[in-house]
Structure 1
Amino acid sequence: MSPANSIDEVLTKAAEISGVDVRGAELIRDGSHGVYRLAHEIVARIGQPGSIDAAQRELRISQWLNDSGIPTVESEASRSQPIVVADRPVTWWKLIPDHRPSTPGELAAMLHALHALAPPIEFELPTYDPFTGLKERITTAGMLDQDDRAWLLQHSARLHEQYDALPDPPSRCVIHGDAWQGNLVVPPSGIPTVLDLDQVSIGRREWDLIQLAVDYVDFSRVPRDDYRSFVEAYGGYDVTGWPGFRVLADIQELRWVAFAVAQSASNSNAAFQAKHRIACLRGQVPPPWQWEAL
């Protein structure tokens, strides 16, 4: 049974329990979550095995953020959830139709508001750890040769030491954890809306600023004017001038490499991308780099 069929079966069984129509279901993402677009403007999210607590937390985070004045994807309140099938949680969400990715300025404005929120008191957010799952992905990847695997593990260990040595921030705050323009979308209403809540946690605010900054510095995917609008909308704080910038930037890039490595078992393009990304990290390809989205 292929992984895709396995996800299909989980969706079908969960839909039977919840009374959801899955005829014509469209798989729109198969990554850390399986995400389907369904009829009646419903989106199904299927978590990894054993992630039931995380799914429950995502549902609570959605309600909390909306109640706190930060527009966020809403769950289907009329459905009992999460539904657990084969130890995988399935949650139902309202579709956000015809949306576009946010601009850098829109993303920064949302992050500025998010980082100003006091953490919820009704439930506890975890502490963000950017190294979660990295070693496992590198160790178990069949496409890596011995040399690349050893280098990636050593690189990860070096970065972990550097990360642990960073000075403690004056305070930690609520962060999104995966803050890129595709995770803040703008529907026809014009109201930017937050997606993908599984990494919302307590951490350094710089982590939420690093993805767009890396796109600007190492990939030249963000024009200078757009990056300036990002900095200005966040209140003038430019993370590229922070002493720990390179440490977080290198960790983020390693995470992007590890994601490609994890996808490569069932995706030949991901395997090609993984090799290319590793070559970039190892200094064999000069920046600005060209990495295709997966």
Structure 2
Amino acid sequence: MTTDPKPAWDVLGAAAAEAGVDTEGAQLIRDGSNVMYRLPGGIVARIGRPGTADTARREAETAIWLASQGIPAVQVIESLPQLVVVAERPVTWWHLLPPHRPATPAELATVLKAVHSLDVPTRPQLPLHNPFAGIAPRIRDATPINADDRDWLLQRLEQLEADYHQLEMNQGRFVLHGDAWQGNVAVPENGQPILLDLEAFSIGPRQWDLVQIAVDYTDFARLTDADYKSFLTAYGDDDITETPEFRTLADIQELRWVAFAASKAASNPNAAHEARHRIACLRGKKPRPWIWSAL
């Protein structure tokens, strides 16, 4: 199993000392794929996984580029050194968001429509979208998951990779957010929606940015009919749930969510329980609509 070479708190202290940033009273905001701390002076420290310095650098460049294109997004603090690497873990510095709420489906659709209308930039150099990135190692390293479930997940991954490459969808070169859900758009009380979590920005078929909210509607019943209709109306496109590629894209998205839970299972008993529940859903042991707890 892969482990971080240095805990996030120690990484923060070393990076802050190098950048001249005060960490007194630091508060943990999130401990996920990235670890985020709120610091004095309206600073947010974002600590990436080991070996992801290039991704962190591109994320900072993407934030600056989006601002230049008139799309409000979370912004780096350009007066601080971007980025600092400690024990192979990248640390970047961001402006703290004002008080906000998650986007409505219609607000998310409006932001995605604007992102998809952008010309592909030469800088930052956005990678081609790979919906399978990181799934296999997360499954293989998930030792708390029993061998039968782990083998089934890897076989499922192999089948979905084959299915995906057989899809005949519009493979246009669109700018993608890559992880498009309502929580990744922050809406302040007075102001425009702000796009968050820019590390998955890439180039690929825009259907990928539409499938996550569609899955929330079809498989999890997280949205009402009116919610989903408002998304379709604001985006101005046909319903992806009625297209031939929907089920394959939905299955890939759900496998990604399962792999993420499995990757947390070794260090978090709640994640281990949730991973087993999600696997049971995929294996047909639980009927839709499913209820999955956030991690």
TM-score range, shorter-chain basis?
over 0.9
Q: How do 1:124-143 residues align onto structure 2 when only pairs under 5 Å count?
A: 124-143=125-144
- Which residue does 1:201 correspond to in 2? 202
Equivalent residues in 2 for 1:140-151 (5 A)? Answer: 140-151=141-152
The CA RMSD measured in Å over matched residues stands at 1.4
Three-state SS of the structure 1 residue aligned to 2:75 is coil
2:35 pairs with 1:63: no
Which residue of structure 2 aligns with residue 271 of structure 1?
A: 272
What TM-score do the two structures reach when normalised by structure 2? 0.96
Normalised TM-score (structure 1): 0.97
Q: Does 1:171 align with 2:177?
A: no
Cα deviation for residue 169 of structure 1 reads 1.5
Do the aligned residues in 1 keep the contact of 2:50 with 2:87 (CA within 8 Å)? yes
* CA distance in 2 between partners of 1:178 and 1:54 (Å): 15
- The alignment partner of 1:202 has SS state of strand
Moved segments of 4+, more than 2 Å: 2-5
State the one-letter code of the partner of 2:231.
Answer: F
Shift of 1:28: 1.4
2-structure distance, mates of 1:4, 1:209 = 36
Shift of 1:199: 0.2
Hey, what does 2:112 align to over in structure 1? 111
1:184 partnered with 2:185: yes
Looking at structure 2, the residues matched to 115 and 222 of structure 1 have their Cα atoms a distance apart, in angstroms, of 23
CA distance in 2, matches of 1:136, 1:4: 17
Q: What is the deviation of 1:97? A: 1.9
Work out whether residues 171 and 204 of structure 2, in 8 Å CA contact, stay in contact via their aligned partners in 1: no
CA distance in 2, matches of 1:170, 1:247: 15
Partner of residue 215, structure 2: 214
Deviates more, 1:183-192 or 1:7-16: 183-192
Q: Distance in 2 between matches of 1:275 and 1:229?
A: 34
Helix, strand or coil at the partner of 2:7: helix
1:43-84 deviation digits (Å, cap 9, x = unpaired): 110111111111111111001111111100110011011011
Q: Distance in 2 between matches of 1:109 and 1:4?
A: 41
Determine the structure 1 residue equivalent to 2:260. 259
- Name the stretch that deviates more: 276-285 or 164-173: 164-173
* Match in the other structure for 2:46: 45
Partner amino acid, structure 2, of 1:18: A
The alpha-carbon deviation at position 4 of structure 1 amounts to: 11
Amino acid at match of 1:112: K
1:25 is aligned to 2:26:
yes
Amino acid at match of 1:85: V
Deviations 1:149-187 (A, max 9, x none): 111111111000000111251512000000011110011
User: What runs of 5+ residues in structure 2 fail to find an aligned partner?
Assistant: none
- Residue type of the partner of 1:104? P
Unaligned runs of 5+ in 1: none
Aligned residue pair count: 293
Structure 2 distance, partners of 1:5, 1:172, is: 38
Query: Once structures 1 and 2 are overlaid, which stretch shifts more, 151-160 or 187-196?
Result: 187-196
AA in 2 matched with 1:205:
R
Instruction: Measure, in 2, the Cα distance between the counterparts of 1:141 and 1:273.
Output: 13
